[in-house]
Amino acid sequence: MLLVNGEKNILTFVTTLLVMLLFAGHLSAQGFLKTRGKQIVNGQGEECILKGMGLGGWMLQEGYMLRTSGFADTQHEIEQHIAEVTSEAFKDQFYEKWLDNHFRRVDLDSLKSWGFNSVRVAMHYQWFTPPIQQEPVQGEVTWRKKGFTMLDTLLKWCRQNQMYLILDLHAAPGGQGYNASISDYNPAKPSLWESAFNRKKTAELWKKLAQRYGDNPWIGGYDLINETNWTFQGRREGDNARNGCQDTQNEPLHDLLVRITDSIRTVDTRHIIFIEGNCWANNFSGLTPPWDDNMVYSFHKYWNPNTTEALQQFLDMRKQYNVPLWLGETGENSNTWYTNCIRLLEKHNIGWAWWPEKQLGDHNNPLTVKTHAGYQELLEYWRGNGSKPSIGEARDALMQLVENLKLENCIYNRDVIDAMFRQTRTTATKPYKKHVFPGKVYAVDYDLGRLHQAYYDRDYSNTEFRAPTNRGGEYRNDGVDIEACSDQTTNGYNVGWTENGEWLQYTIDVKQTGSYAFSFRVAAENNGGSFYLKMDGNRLGDKITVPATGGYQKWETLEMAPVQLTSGKHTFRIEMETGGFNLNFFRAQPATRVHSPEKADELKLFYAQNYIRVAVPEACKRPVQADVVDLKGRIHRPKIYRNEEYIKLSVVSLQKGIYFVRIRTNRYYGTAQFIV
C-alpha cells in the first residue's frame, strides 16, 4: 500500500520506523537495576533512588481501606459479606470490575507525571494460584491466568513510562502474619508457616514469576514476602506476642527466603531480591548476613519520628554488610511528616515507596475515593445499625463504589503530591487556588507549602499510632483542622479547632490600589477568640475579637475598618492570638459605598461596604435604642445587630446622603455622622 502512494509514503514509513527503534532503545537504555555496595544502580552504573508508590487495595483489599474494619478486616471476609447481600455470581462480577477500575493506564501515567519513578504492586497469590483447598490434585501447584495478565499489562505501562515495577507478594499462600488483613490470613486454615505445601506454592510462584519476567529490565526487583508478623518461638501473652517482634532468630523466615531466592536464581540471576524482616518488616534478627550478591534489605516506617536515630539500626546494618537499604512502605501521615521523611531518606541515599495510591474517604493519599449514600447504608447494615438493603440496592451501591475507583472520579489531593516532591526541595510557598481582591477567600484554601512557611498548626505530625493530625479529617492533609461546613455560603469546609498562635497564609492578587473593607465569617460556641490580619508581614487594622455565636456552625460576619491595599501579589496571614473559633471565609471589597466625613462625632465608626459598625462605649453597654437619622430629621430603621462590644447597622437600603447614627440609654446619648 505504501508503494501506491509513492516515495513520500516510503520515506514516512522509514522515518517512523527509525523513530520507533530509537524510542525502543531509549526505553531499555537504563538496563537492569542491581546492587553495587550500598547503592542501587542502573545498567549504566548510575545510582538510582527509587521513588515509588505502593499499589495497595488493588489486588488485595484491606478492611480499613473500605471502611469494613471490625466486621470484615480481610479480603475473604469482605467477599463473604458481598456474596451475602448479593450472590456468588455478582461477587465475581464485582471483583472483575474492581480489578479493571482500581488501577488503569491513566493511574500509571499520573504517577509518572507527579514525579514517581517506580511502583510496588501488592500481589494477592489467589490471582496467580488457587488456595491449597482448591487444587485439583493434592500436592500439585496449578496456575491462574488473571494475575499474570494483570502484571503483563502493568509492566507494559511501566516500560512505556520508563518506570520500574517491583513485585511485592503481599498475601502469600495461607497468609504470613497474625495481623490478618495485610495478608488475608484465615486462622481457620493453615498459614504459610503451618503448611509445607503453602511454602512450596510460594517458592514455585516466585520461580514462575522470574521465568516470565527475568529478561525484562523494567522489573525493579522481587520483594519476596511483605510484613511477616509471626512469633516462631511460640505464642505468648502481651502486645507483641503474635507479631514477631520478640523473635531473635527467625529461622523459618530465613529458611523460606533462602529457598525462594534459590528457586528464582535457577531461572533469573539479574534481578534484585528485596528482603523484609519480621515484625512489620523491621526485625532482621537471623536474616543477616546477605545470602545473595544482588540483595537489598527493605524496612518499613510508620508513625515514628523523622530522625537519623529512627533509622540508625538499618544504617548500621547497611554499613556492616555493605548492602543497600530500601524503605519499601510508608505513608498514612500528615504532609509535614511526608516532607520530613523523604528529606531524611534522601539525605541518607535511601529510596522509598509510599502507601497507598488511593483509598476510600481519606485525604492522606494522592487520590481519595469518594463514598456515597448507598454504600454508607450498606456499611451500616453490615455494622448492625441498619436494615438489610434489597439485592438491587446492594448491587447498585457496590457497582457505584467500583465506578468511583476510576481516577477521573477520585479527588486529587495535590497538597500530598506537593509535599512529597516540591516541598522536599524548597521552602517557597505557592497558591493552593487563585485568589483575587476584591473577592472572597475560603479559609481552607491557604497556600501550599511547609509548616512555618504556608501555615502553622500546633498538631502537625503523627509520631504515634493515633488519630490524624487534621482532626476534622476533611479536604487537606496538613495539620490544619478542617471539617464539613453547614454555613449558607460555603465551599463545603471550614477551618476549626483553632489554637493560640496558629496561622494561615494566602497569596492574593490585589487588582487595584485603594481602600478595602474586610469581613470575616466566624463561629464559636463559647468564648470565641481573637485574630489579626497581616499583609506582607505587617498588621492591617486592629485585632478582631470573635464573639460567642452559640455554636461552631452558628455563623456570624465580622467587619474590620477599611485599610489601604496596593495592587499586586501579596501574602495575607490570619494569625490566631486566641483560638477557639471556626473560620469559613473572609472577603475584601472596595470601601466606597460608606465613607467617613472629615470629622466624625463622639461615637467611633467602622465603615464597610454594606454596613457600619459602631463601637459601644463603656458607659453604654446595653443601648436602649439605636437610630439612623437623615438631615431632615427622618428616622430610618435599617436592620440592627447588637452585642456588648458593637452595634452593626445595615445601610444597603439607604439612599445617597448624609446620616447620623445615634444611640441612647437612660444615662448616655451619642451620635456620629456618616455619608452614603
Would you say residue 21 has pLDDT above 50?
A: no
- One domain, residues 126 and 204: yes
Q: For 551-565, what is each residue's pLDDT tens digit?
A: 999 999 998 878 899
Tell me the Ramachandran region of residue 138: left when phi exceeds 0, alpha when psi lies from -120 to 50, beta otherwise.
Answer: beta
pLDDT tens-place string over residues 209-235: 999 999 999 999 999 999 999 999 855
User: What does the pLDDT read at residue 249?
Assistant: 85
Is 353 inside any structural domain? Answer: yes
What is the predicted pLDDT for the residue at 624? 56
Q: Is the pLDDT of residue 336 over 80?
A: yes
Q: Write down the mean pLDDT value for the chain.
A: 89
Q: How far is it, in rounded angstroms, from Cα 252 to Cα 265?
A: 20
- CATH number (domain holding residue 619): 2.60.40
Digit-coded pLDDT (tens) for 572-627 = 999 999 999 999 999 998 875 444 443 344 566 666 657 777 776 665 555 557 77
**Dihedral of alpha carbons 313, 314, 317, 318, sign:** negative
Cβ–Cβ under 8 Å, residues 675 and 591: no
Residue 405 falls inside a structural domain: no
Q: What percent of the chain has pLDDT over 70?
A: 87
Name which residue leads in pLDDT, 243 or 44. Answer: 44
CATH code of 200's domain: 3.20.20.80
Burial of 239 (0-12, 13-18, 19+ CB in 10 A): exposed
**Same domain membership, residue 211 and residue 278:** yes
Are residues 225 and 170 part of one domain? yes
Which residue, 564, 590, 616, sits at the end of a domain? 590
Same-domain check for residues 474 and 623? no
Please compute the mean of the pLDDT values over residues 637-653 and round it to a whole number: 72
**Residue range 133-147: mean pLDDT, rounded:** 95
All three cell numbers of 478: 496538613
Expressed as residue numbers, the domain containing 211 is 31-58+103-370+410-419
- What whole-number distance in Å separates Cα of residue 212 and Cα of residue 235? 39
Please report whether residue 71 resides in a domain. Answer: no
CB-based contacts of 16: which residues, under 8 Å, 6+ apart?
none
Task: List Cα–Cα distances, 630 to 53, 91, 561, 654, 661, in angstroms.
Answer: 69, 75, 23, 10, 9
pLDDT at 648: 77
Nearest to 521 by CA among 464, 422, 590, 588: 588
Q: Are 110 and 228 found together in one domain?
A: yes
pLDDT at residue 140 greater than cutoff 60: yes
Q: Are residues 439 and 532 in the same domain?
A: yes
Whether the per-residue pLDDT at 248 is higher than 60: the answer is yes
CA–CA dist 364, 449 (Å, integer): 16
Query: In this model, does residue 264 exceed pLDDT 80?
Result: yes
Does 646 score more than 90 pLDDT? no
Strand partners, 506: 572
In a domain, 479, yes or no: yes
Is 66 within a domain? no
Q: Please check whether residue 496 lies inside any domain of the structure.
A: yes
Position 619 scores a pLDDT of 57
Looking at residue 4, what is its pLDDT?
32
| Residues 165-194: tens digit of each pLDDT | 999 999 999 999 998 999 999 999 999 999
Residue written as cell 449558607? Answer: 488
Query: Does the pLDDT value for residue 1 go beyond 60?
Result: no
Q: Smallest Cα–Cα separation from 380: which of 115, 81, 657?
A: 81
How many alpha carbons fall within 13 Å on the CB side of residue 545?
Answer: 9
197 and 148 within one domain: yes
Section 234-250 average pLDDT: 66
Least confident of 14-18, 540-544, 548-552: 14-18
Which among 22-31, 542-551, 623-632, 639-648 has the top mean pLDDT? Answer: 542-551
The enclosing domain of 513 has a CATH number of: 2.60.120.260
> Residues 472-497: pLDDT tens digits?
999 999 999 999 999 999 999 999 99
Average pLDDT over residues 271-299: 97
The pairing of strands 529-535 and 582-590 is: unpaired
Considering its fold, how many domains does the chain have in total?
Answer: 3
Q: Does residue 201 share a domain with residue 263?
A: yes
Residue 3 included in any domain: no
Shared domain for 661 and 620, answered yes or no, is yes
Question: If pLDDT is split at 50, 70 and 90, which confidence band does 17 have?
Answer: very low
**pLDDT of 387:** 96
Whether residue 510 is found in the same domain as residue 628: no
- What is the arithmetic mean of pLDDT over 253-281? 98
Task: Give the pLDDT confidence score for residue 350 in this predicted structure.
Answer: 98
Within a domain: residue 235? yes
Q: Which of 419, 438, 454 is the last residue of a domain?
A: 419
The b/e string for 67-95 (b: 16+ C-beta within 10 A; e otherwise) is: bbeeebbbbbbbbebbeebbeeebbeebb
- Is 283 in the same domain as 186? yes
Q: What is the CA radius of gyration of the chain?
A: 32
Give the rounded percent of residues in the chain with a pLDDT score beyond 90: 75
Whose CA is closest to 228, among 268, 188, 257? 257
Same domain, yes or no: 179 and 147: yes
